[in-house]
Structure formats: structure tokens, C-alpha cells
């Protein structure tokens, strides 16, 4: 399933070739930095592929964008973390952006200087997934109905670009989530043909699902990112790419699921286009679990 | 001189601006490319002011051209480089515009 997903994601990048997804993501695909770059992205840590489009004209203060995404069952590249099950999910989101909130437009024709640009955006999203839930203490049944989950998200984000080498971002909002990643990925077996008495063989069908107490809740996420580009002459040996370092926090301030994590990401970018990431490695710690994830991106400009 | 449509193309990682004869050109973003055009009545010179922003050390280009019937656009102005420390570069130039930018250039 994972390899099929990756193949589909790679194929999708060929088919669509235009998107806006930010690749400055922690392993679970969350970010506070919304780039306006056209890219198609694959986040291996989250098994997520996305394509998007953004519409912007430089002299207009407003722009907008659309994104569609699909996720596979479980991240394929969480290197040291315990496997957190996820159900396949599809969805989309839209962003509406206002540019130059605190920063001022540059005086056109002036000489070299310190660039400043900021943007405030509203990001609204919807996703849907279906899966089987096997509640704790419930007797296994062959007639378990599929559970559907609808994810809703509204995020308000502010980003600030300054000095040619820094992009800062903060995002706050609300999101309808479930606790699937805390449940145990299991499969229920149903015997179709029982083996002969004394035999250990039988024919069974299996149905993948999740075991535990399933909950749906409203999260109040707050994300922060501080992305710093290293000078162009600083490269990773063997690569000729630009290098960026992202310091990030990911928190949920909803009372029922209050928690916070922080981490660092190191990303490689195209030398000619330092907003297009070709991949990165992120490490985060939430006070209990340490997770290192690989993020790989394939970025196209239209 | 009849009105001429000047096509502007800027390549840079962040937002960029260009004014022709002090009039801003609306540039639409497609990835790192910002393109737009403006039709102007000009005498024999054109004032070009531009500001390009981007990630330090990344490449940038500015091109102003005029479409020609033969297919190859006539170059009016071109500039390029790498974004300096600070993330912004800009300049104001006045260039000569031939009466017929698409006319074959005299090789003599």
C-alpha cells in the first residue's frame, strides 16, 4: 500500500505539476509557514501528497490558493518513532491571503536594501476518511460498520520574510480531529472455512481496523516556525543545494489534549530556487517521544 | 511613435516589481516567474524602474521585450545577478527604444 501510494504520488506530480504546499513541515505535515511558491509536494513522514494552485498578482494586496491532498495509512519514513496508525484520507483546503500587513511595499527602482514582506492568511480545510473501529471490551463481530470521520480546519497564520534569509511564521486555529494515531492498528480475522479437527489450518478473511477507545475532539493548534537560510556558499558535502534550518513548535492548547512539541529541521533546496525544497530531516520531542522524520519533496514550477 | 506593448518578465524567489514610465506593471506569479505587459506611447526612450526581492544568493533576472511578427521578441532591456545580502535589489534605467523595435538591426 505504501509503495503504491508513493507511485501514485509521483505520478500525480507528473500529471498536475503545479501546487503550493509548503515543505517546511514537521514529520506530521504541520507548518506555520505558507509559501506562495508553486510546488507539488510529497511528505514521506506523513505519507502525504498534495497539489495546489495559487493566484497572485504583485500589485494586488490579496491572493488566494487551493490545495488537494491524499494521505496513506502510515508514514513510511518516521525513522525512530513508534508507528502511529493513520487512516487514508483525502481532502482539500483554500487560503485567502492579505499581503503587506506591517511591512511596507518597497520603493520601486531604489537600490539594494533590506527586503521585508509579510502576509496574513486564513486557511480553511476539509478532509474525510473511513475506517473500522474495534472498541475496547467489545465482542468481535462480522458486521462491524465502517466509521467515517470528517476533518474541519480553520487556521489563521502570519508570516514574515526579512533580510533575504529569514521566514518566520505563527499559526493558530481550530481543527476537528480524532485520536486514531493513539489507537492500535489491528486486523479482525473471520474464519470462512474451519480446519479439520486437530488441524491448525483454516481459511480466514481479515479486516484492518483500529482497536481502542475512539474519540473525536476539537484541537486548538498553535504552530510556530523560524526558517533560516544559510549563506549560498554553505553546502552539504556531495550536494550543491542551499541549506535551511527550521526551528519549530507544535502545540495543542485544547484542554482535553493539551500538549506541546518542539524540534529542528534541516532542509535542502534547489540552488536556483531556494523556496523549492528537495527534502529535509526533522527531529522533534514532545516530552515523551522523540521522532525523526524524513520529508521529501518534488517541486515543479508551472 | 505608435503605442508599443512592452512585455516584462522577472524571475526571482519572492515578489518583484517593475514600473515603465513610472506606471506599475501588473505581474502575475507562476512559480519563480512574474510576467505582465503594459502598452505605452513612448518617444524614443523608456524609463524602467525595478525592485526584485528574494532569498540571498539566489539568481534573479529582469527582461523587457516587445513581441515581433517573426516570433523572436525584440530585447529592450535585460539585467540579472544574484540577490545580495538583505534580500532586495533595484535600479532605475532609461533605455532607447527604436521607432520600430522589430526592424532588422543594421549590421554595418
Averaged over A155-181, what is the pLDDT? 93
Q: Average pLDDT, whole number, for chain B?
A: 93
Q: Comparing A135 with A38, which gets the higher pLDDT?
A: A135
The pLDDT value given to residue A302: 35
Residue A204 has pLDDT above 70, yes or no: yes
Partner B, chain A 126-165, Cβ-Cβ below 8 Å: 161-165
The 3-class SS string of chain A reads CHHHHHHHHHHHHHHHCCCECCCCCCCCCCCCCCCCCCEEEEEHHHCEEEEEEEECECCCCEEEEEEEEEECCCCCCECCCCCCCCCCEEEEEEEEEEECCCCCCCCCCCCCEECEEEEEEEEEEEEEEEEEEECCCCCCCCCCCEEEEEEEEEEEEEEEEECCCEEEEEEEEEEEEECHHHCEEEEEEEEEECCCCCCCCCEEEEEEEEECCCCEEEECEEEEEEEEECCCCCCCCCCCCEEEEEEEEEEECCHHHCEEEEEEEEEEECCCCCCCEEEEEEEEECCCCEEEEEEEEECCCC
Residue A6 has pLDDT above 60, yes or no: no
Residues A133, A180: Cα–Cα separation, whole Å: 9
The answer on pLDDT for A72 being more than 90 is: no
Residues of chain B in contact with residue A272, where contact means CB-CB under 8 angstroms, are 58-59
Interchain CB contact of B26 with A (< 8 Å): yes
- pLDDT tens digit string along B23-45? 999 999 988 899 999 999 998 99
- Minimum mean pLDDT range among A219-223, A228-232, A290-294, B79-83: A290-294
B-facing residues of A in 28-67 (CB < 8 A) are 36-38, 54, 56-60
pLDDT band at A41 (very low <50, low <70, confident <90, very high): low
Q: What is the pLDDT of residue A13?
A: 32
A231 in Cβ contact with A154 (< 8 Å): no
CB A169 within 8 A of CB A157: yes
Could you give the CA distance from residue A169 to residue A160 in angstroms, rounded to a whole number?
6
Q: For chain A, give the mean pLDDT.
A: 79
Torsion (CA) A128, A129, A135, A138 in degrees, nearest 10: 110
Query: pTM for the full model?
Result: 0.81
For A107, nearest residue in chain B (alpha carbons):
B51
A105 Cα to chain B: minimum distance (Å): 10
Indicate yes or no: CB of B55 within 8 angstroms of CB of A113. Answer: no
Strand duo A146-162 + A116-134: pairing: antiparallel
ipTM entry:
0.89
- Answer whether B14 touches A (CB < 8 Å): yes
Residues in A closer than 8 angstroms to B61, CB to CB, are: none
Is the model's pLDDT at A168 over the cut of 50? yes
CA of A226 vs chain B CAs: smallest distance (Å): 15
Per domain, the residue ranges of chain B are 4-96
In terms of phi and psi (left: phi > 0; alpha: psi -120 to 50; beta: otherwise), the region of A109 is left
Residues B54-72 pLDDT 10s: 999 999 999 999 999 888 9
Low-confidence winner among A111-125, A274-288, B78-92 (lowest mean pLDDT)? A274-288
pLDDT at position A82: 40
Mean pLDDT of A275-289: 85
Confidence of residue A96 (pLDDT cuts 50, 70, 90): very high
Amino acid at each position: 500500500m505504501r509503495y503504491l501510494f508513493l507511485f501514485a504520488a509521483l505520478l500525480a506530480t507528473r500529471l498536475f505539476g503545479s501546487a503550493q504546499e509548503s515543505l517546511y513541515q514537521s514529520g506530521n505535515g504541520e507548518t506555520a509557514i505558507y509559501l506562495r511558491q508553486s510546488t507539488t509536494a510529497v511528505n514521506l513522514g506523513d505519507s502525504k501528497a498534495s497539489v495546489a494552485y495559487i493566484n497572485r498578482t504583485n500589485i494586488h494586496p490579496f491572493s488566494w490558493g487551493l490545495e488537494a491532498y491524499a494521505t496513506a495509512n502510515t508514514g513510511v519514513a518516521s525513522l525512530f518513532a513508534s508507528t502511529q496508525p493513520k487512516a487514508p484520507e483525502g481532502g482539500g483546503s483554500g487560503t485567502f491571503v492579505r499581503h503587506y500587513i506591517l511591512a511596507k511595499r518597497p520603493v520601486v527602482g531604489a537600490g539594494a536594501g533590506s527586503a521585508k514582506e509579510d502576509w496574513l492568511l486564513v486557511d480553511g480545510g476539509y478532509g474525510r476518511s473511513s475506517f473500522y473501529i474495534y472498541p475496547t471490551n467489545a465482542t468481535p463481530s462480522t458486521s462491524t460498520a465502517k466509521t467515517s470521520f470528517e476533518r474541519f480546519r480553520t487556521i489563521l497564520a502570519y508570516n514574515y520574510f526579512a533580510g533575504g534569509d529569514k521566514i518566520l511564521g505563527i499559526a493558530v486555529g481550530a481543527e476537528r480531529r480524532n485520536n486514531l494515531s493513539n489507537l492500535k492498528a489491528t486486523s479482525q480475522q473471520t474464519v470462512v472455512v474451519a480446519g479439520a479437527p486437530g488441524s491448525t489450518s483454516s481459511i480466514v478473511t481479515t479486516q484492518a481496523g483500529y482497536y481502542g477507545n475512539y474519540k473525536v475532539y476539537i484541537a486548538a493548534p498553535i504552530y510556530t516556525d523560524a526558517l533560516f537560510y544559510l549563506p549560498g556558499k554553505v553546502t552539504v558535502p556531495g550536494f550543491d543545494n542551499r541549506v535551511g534550518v527550521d526551528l519549530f513548535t507544535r502545540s495543542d492548547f485544547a484542554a482535553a489534549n493539551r500538549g506541546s512539541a518542539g524540534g529542528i529541521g534541516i532542509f535542502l533546496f534547489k540552488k536556483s530556487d531556494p523556496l523549492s525544497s528537495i527534502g529535509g530531516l526533522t527531529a522533534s520531542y514532545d516530552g515523551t517521544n522523540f521522532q525523526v522524520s524524513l520529508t521529501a519533496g518534488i517541486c515543479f514550477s508551472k | 511613435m505608435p503605442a508599443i506593448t512592452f512585455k516584462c518578465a522577472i524571475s526571482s524567489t519572492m515578489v518583484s516589481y517593475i514600473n515603465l514610465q513610472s506606471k506599475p506593471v501588473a505581474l502575475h506569479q507562476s512559480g519563480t516567474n512574474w510576467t505582465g505587459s503594459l502598452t505605452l506611447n513612448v518617444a524614443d526612450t523608456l524609463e524602467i524602474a525595478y525592485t526584485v526581492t528574494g532569498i540571498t544568493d539566489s539568481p534573479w533576472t529582469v527582461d523587457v521585450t516587445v513581441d515581433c511578427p517573426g516570433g523572436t521578441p525584440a530585447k529592450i532591456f535585460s539585467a540579472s545577478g544574484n540577490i545580495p545580502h538583505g534580500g532586495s535589489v533595484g535600479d532605475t534605467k532609461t533605455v532607447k527604444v527604436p521607432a520600430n523595435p522589430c526592424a532588422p538591426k543594421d549590421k554595418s
